[in-house]
Each structure stands twice: as structure tokens, then as C-alpha cells.
Amino acid sequence: MPALNQYFLTLIDGRKLSYALYGPINGKPVFYFHGTPSSRLEPLLLNVYVKSLEQSLQQYNIQLIAVDRPGIGLSTYNLHNSFSSFAGDVQQLATHLHISSAGVLGWSGAGPFALSVAFHFPKLITAIYLITTFTKSFGEPAVFKVMHANKYYFGTAKYAPWLLRAIMNIVSKKPARKPMPKWLSGLPKVDYDCMNTPECIQHLSAVTICESCITGSRGSVQEASLYFNPTGYDIAQIQQPIHFWWGTADNVVPIIHAKAIAEHVPNANIHYKQDEGHLSIYIHYFEEVLAAIAKQ
């Protein structure tokens, strides 16, 4: 998978932070945080389903700064990784890029990282755009128990990380050629249909799990276990506008995470989409998200 516009920042502790730039160089800056397991290449997924990612970003004059989190993709592993430590990494990246204010956009597992950087650096982050993401710690009452099939992935990361690392090291060696059977995946039909061609499933797995584990699975498994930790932020104290998109057919991110934003954030905009799933809402509504960013 080509890594166009690939860059590295050496952080103050000596670690390397990998990131990619998409869109016009003078466009409105927006930090892009990928799902889990995934990578800075995730936005390229849009090229398979809709019009060119670059064309869309040019249309809305937005530059995405897509960051590999510690130990993922080409970024250096951080033994002491946390939601708040990654926020500090992003702040260093903003300083390096001479960015004094920006938006932040994230999908799926990106939520706690986006909310953390907004909470800890409110002058840097002007608005948050979340596409069906986690917002609450899995360690909070009733959060983990309402998860669907993906609870096995995250549960294994917490209770048997050695096993998940071994599995990830195997499955990430090359892109998948076909999706797992629908009955085994547990995905709703709208999501399964989005990956039910060789081109789609190969590209999806290449930019997510394969690139995530390109230097090994330690970082991805460590990150999966982080979701059980305290988030380190208080949603109710985040004053910036938060847009949250959630599909009624999504069984990857339960509605409890959307409700946390709707009920506690003073400046929340919830976009419920009927019959959309976890992957389908990303594909079908990415343009709507860009339009919302452009209006801010």
C-alpha cells in the first residue's frame, strides 16, 4: 500500500510519530484519528467506494493530518501510552506544523483519542467530528457488556494479550481476499455488503489491520486494552462543538456512546442515520462530515 505524503516527527522523548497529509496544503487543518486496528492510510478507503478522497478534500478546502498512534503503523511504540499521552503527541505535532487551531475527525476507535486532545488542549481543537466512535471507558458499568462480537477482540486484548498478538501477527501478513462468512462476522447486512467484493475487502484489510501491524502487533493490542482504562477526560467539560454520526444498524459501537455525547456535552450535534451500520455510515456520510467541517 503506497504511503503518499508520508512524514515523521521526532517527539521530545525520541519517539517517531508517523503521519500522512491529504488534501490541499493550505486547506483548513483537521487532525484525522483512525479506528482500531487501523492506520494513517485509513482515509484512502474512501477511494474504493466514492469519488476521489483528494477531490472531496479539494472541494471543501480541507487538509487531513492523519496520525499513526504509538506502536501502530510506522509510529514508535510507547510503553506508557494513554489517551492523554497521545494528546500530548498531537500537541507537539501541531506546534511542529505551525497549527494554532484545528478540527479533529475520527472514526470508530478514534473517539477517546479525539475527545482527549480536545479536553486537554481546548485552544488547539476548535471542533470535534466523530463518526460512530467509542466515547466511554469499557471499564464503566454496562459499557462492555452491551458490545456485540467485537467484545471478543477487546476482551482478548485485556485478558490474553499474548494470544491476540499471535493472532494479529498471522492475519496481518497479507490483505484478506474475501470476508469471513456473514454469520460469523456478526455484522449487519448493510456493513457486510460494503466489503463483499474482493477489491473492497482487500483494500479494507490493507489500510487497517495490515498497516496497523506492519512493524508488529504489540502497539495495536496495547491500544485495544486501553479502552478499559479511565479516559482521563470529562465529556461534560468539553465546550467545543461535537458532531456525532451514528447509524441505527451499528452493532460495533453501541448507542450508549452516542447518548453520552447527547446527554452530557453542552454543544452536541447528534446525527442519527436510519439503517446505517458501522462501515456504511463512514462510506455514505463522509461527504456530509466534510461539509459540516467546512461550515464551522
What lies within 8 Å, CB to CB, of 198 at 6+ separation is: 177, 178
Domain count, the chain: 1
- Distances in whole angstroms, Cα of residue 247 to Cα of each of 1, 202, 238: 29, 24, 23
Provide the grid cell at 38: 487501523
- The Cα–Cα gap between 56 and 43 comes to 11
Tell me the torsion sign for CA atoms 15, 41, 26, 270: negative
Whether residue 224 contacts residue 36, with contact meaning beta carbons closer than 8 Å, is answered with yes
> Is residue 147 in some structural domain?
yes
Over the stretch 212-271, which tens digit does the pLDDT of each residue have? 999 999 999 999 999 999 999 999 999 999 999 999 999 999 999 999 999 999 999 999
Over the stretch 129-169, which tens digit does the pLDDT of each residue have? 999 999 999 999 999 999 988 999 999 999 999 999 999 99
Whether residue 249 contacts residue 221, with contact meaning beta carbons closer than 8 Å, is answered with no
- Distances in whole angstroms, Cα of residue 46 to Cα of each of 67, 245, 280, 281: 17, 17, 11, 12
> Is residue 286 in some structural domain?
yes
> Is residue 1 in some structural domain?
no
Over the stretch 84-101, which tens digit does the pLDDT of each residue have? 999 999 999 999 999 999
- The Cα–Cα gap between 127 and 133 comes to 15
> Is residue 178 in some structural domain?
yes
pTM to 2 decimal places:
0.96
> Is residue 14 in some structural domain?
yes
Task: Kindly report the length of the chain.
Answer: 296
Q: What is the CATH number of the domain that holds 30?
A: 3.40.50.1820
Range of the domain at 218: 6-295
User: Cα dihedral angle (39, 118, 242, 18), rounded to 10 degrees?
Assistant: -20
Whether residue 28 contacts residue 294, with contact meaning beta carbons closer than 8 Å, is answered with yes
- The Cα–Cα gap between 213 and 170 comes to 10
Under the banding of pLDDT at 50, 70 and 90, the label for residue 188 is confident
> Is residue 30 in some structural domain?
yes
- The Cα–Cα gap between 91 and 21 comes to 16
